[in-house]
Structure 1
Amino acid sequence: MLSINEKFPDFDKKSVVSIEYGKEFENISSSRLVSTADAWTVMFWWPKDFTFICPTEIAEFNKSHGEFKDRDAFLIGASTDSEYVHLAWRKNHPDLADLKFPMLADTSKSLAEELGILDKDEKIAYRATYIIDPSGVIRWVSVYDLNVGRNVKEVLRVLDALQTDELCPCNWVKGQERLTV
């Protein structure tokens, strides 16, 4: 599995960005991650569309979208389902209809495989979350079991800590003192 201080892989994938007819799809590429100075990226993966835990996580990331945006972080959701399945799910699930971030479709499973987050048996992505700095380097990765949802507040906390570029103690939250050496 790719880990911290490694370059996030290059990719160019179809994504669902809207449910409005004619504006549903857009290509998202790794060049977009490093094209904006000082922009961070948070990419989170879920195993399958039309499941039970996944929409709770996606909805929570969506509720927190403004907080990621305030931190100059581009949010991307991803799975190995196709863009058409993503679109159908968004149209079918009320919590997903108004997403403010793209749903990346890794139908070839090439990106999930390169990241090392593809389940060997089912060939679906684990619940992985990456924080990628403006130069395209992975600064944090977290992977959860297929049956356990992640904590979006923890992703925000870690992003805050990484963006200070200082030493942050255990359980540190934005606004608290950082360590001095």
Structure 2
Amino acid sequence: MSNRILGLGAEFPAFEKTAVVSREKGQEFQTISNDIHTADGKWMVMFWWPKDFTFVCPTEIAEFNKNAGEFADRDTVLVGASTDSEFVHLAWRNNHEDLRDLKFPMLADTSKSLAEELGILEATEKIAYRATFIIDPQGIVRWVSAYDLSVGRNVEEVLRVLDALQTDELCPCNWEKGEETLNLN
């Protein structure tokens, strides 16, 4: 069975899921939905990892967290997600030094329905591939990247692509924020 990853120009599926948003007693969980970004006209970056309590995943989550301010500066809501439960997410945050002070929600797709709609559900173990989606304020997918389970992604590249998309102009190969875009006049 082959996956069909939700592609560019598609509307990001509506979702309403429980997420870990804090380690503070009584404040740990919150229900989040597409409104997390569309209500305020913000962009959203949703990145997925296969499993909690693994080895590559916390390196990526910690790197996204280090760059949380960069995403916020770009009017972008950052959401991390996997098919693990909110209770496993919370236990992992409490257990792993690099995950204790996350500045973004850890979405729990325990039904695997969102991962399945996105086309990123691995067929054998029914876990999510390492996938990243950039969604514009209108809820349209503007960028997708997916990696094999064993390879971590590059957060700087996610920021670079987000910057390029937000220019709404033509950006050449290896373009970086602050550089000239292409002018066809």
TM class, shorter-chain normalised? over 0.9
Between the two proteins, the alignment pairs up a number of residues equal to 180
Return the offset for 1:164: 0.1
Q: 2:9 maps to what in 1?
A: 5
Q: TM-score, normalised by structure 2?
A: 0.97
Q: Which residue of 2 aligns with 1:147?
A: 150
The secondary structure found in structure 2 opposite 1:69 is helix
CA offset digits 1:122-165 (Å, max 9, x no partner): 10000000000000000000000000000000000000000000
The residue type paired with residue 25 of structure 1 is F
2:169 is paired with a residue of what secondary structure?
coil
Q: Is the CA contact 1:19–1:97 (under 8 Å) kept in the aligned structure 2? A: yes
- The answer to whether 1:73 aligns with 2:76 is yes
Correspondence 1:23 to 2:50 = no
1:129/1:141 contact within 8 Å kept: yes
CA distance in 1, matches of 2:9, 2:38: 15
Alpha-carbon distance between aligned partners in 2 of 1:67 and 1:3, rounded to the nearest angstrom: 25
Instruction: Give the equivalent residue in structure 1 for 2:89.
Output: 86
Out of 147, 167, 171, the position equivalent to 1:168 is 171
Does residue 34 of the first structure (1) align with residue 38 of the second (2)?
yes
Distance across 2 between alignment mates of 1:28 and 1:141: 21
Deviations 1:69-115, CA, capped at 9 Å, x for gaps: 00000000000000000000000000000000000000000000000
Read off the aligned partner of 2:153 and give its amino acid letter: R
| 1:50–1:89 Cα contact (<8 Å) kept | yes
1:114 maps to a residue whose letter is E
Instruction: Give the CA RMSD over aligned residues.
Output: 0.5
Do 2:56 and 2:152's aligned partners in 1 also have CA atoms closer than 8 Å? yes
Structure 2 counterpart of 1:44: 47
Cα deviation, residue 33, structure 1 = 2.5
Contact 1:10 1:31 in 2 (8 A): no
**Partner residue of 2:161?**
158
- Runs of at least 4 residues of structure 1 off by over 6 A? none
Structure 1: stretches of 5+ with no match in the other structure? none
What is the aligned partner in structure 2 of residue 125 from structure 1?
Answer: 128
